[in-house]
């Protein structure tokens, strides 16, 4: 049904988290790329299209919430080990499509990603 596999950008300063999420997502047929900080994520998102980005809220060069406004149109999911009501509200107000608390349960994250990508593809069909 889909012409191409969805592409997902994983933005986290923790290399183990990037590798683990990437392996899980590739195992489910997604194309993945990773970035260790906001600047790298912005550069990669300008160079190629991503359907979805997983953004850690604590990055070395900027808050993940600030990165939300600097990335092009895509599904954006904030992942944080430091959940607060304030950053959850800020993330959603700045365009996050979802807010996930670490430790991330892979099956829950995969279900969320699948649902968000389905919404995205239905929205694209409506605008065609």
Q: Is 61 within the bounds of a domain? A: yes
Q: Is residue 118 part of a domain?
A: yes
Task: State pLDDT tens for residues 72-100.
Answer: 999 999 999 989 999 999 999 999 999 99
Per-residue buried b or exposed e for 32-48, using 16+ beta carbons within 10 Å of the residue's own CB? bbbbbbbebbbebbeee
CATH value at residue 107 = 3.40.50.2300
In a domain, 26, yes or no: yes
Residue 3 has a pLDDT of 57
2 in any annotated domain: no
Q: How confident is the model at residue 2 (pLDDT cuts 50, 70, 90)?
A: very low
Asked if residue 1 belongs to a domain, the reply is no
Task: Please count the structural domains in the chain.
Answer: 1
Q: What is the pLDDT of residue 127?
A: 84
- What is the sign of the dihedral through the CA atoms of 41, 42, 43 and 46? positive
Instruction: Supply the mean pLDDT for the chain.
Output: 94
Please check whether residue 93 lies inside any domain of the structure.
yes
What local confidence, expressed as pLDDT, does residue 56 receive? 96
Residue 4 has pLDDT above 90, yes or no: no
User: Structural domain of residue 97, as residue ranges?
Assistant: 7-127
Cβ atoms of 33 and 76 closer than 8 Å: no
- 58 part of a folded domain: yes
Question: pLDDT digit string (tens) for 32-60?
Answer: 999 999 999 999 999 999 999 999 999 99
Domain for residue 78, yes or no? Answer: yes
């Amino acid at each position: 049904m889909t012409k191409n596999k969805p592409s997902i950008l994983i933005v986290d300063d923790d290399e183990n988290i990037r590798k683990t999420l990437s392996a899980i997502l590739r195992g489910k047929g997604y194309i993945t790329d990773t970035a260790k900080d906001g600047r790298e994520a912005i550069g990669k998102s300008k160079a190629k299209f991503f359907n979805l980005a997983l953004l850690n809220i604590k990055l070395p060069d900027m808050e993940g919430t600030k990165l939300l406004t600097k990335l092009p149109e895509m599904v954006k999911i904030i992942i944080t080990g430091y959940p607060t009501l304030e950053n959850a509200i800020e993330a959603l107000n700045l365009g996050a499509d979802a807010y996930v608390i670490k430790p991330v349960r892979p099956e829950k994250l995969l279900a969320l990603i699948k649902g968000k990508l389905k919404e995205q593809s239905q929205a694209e069909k409506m605008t065609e």
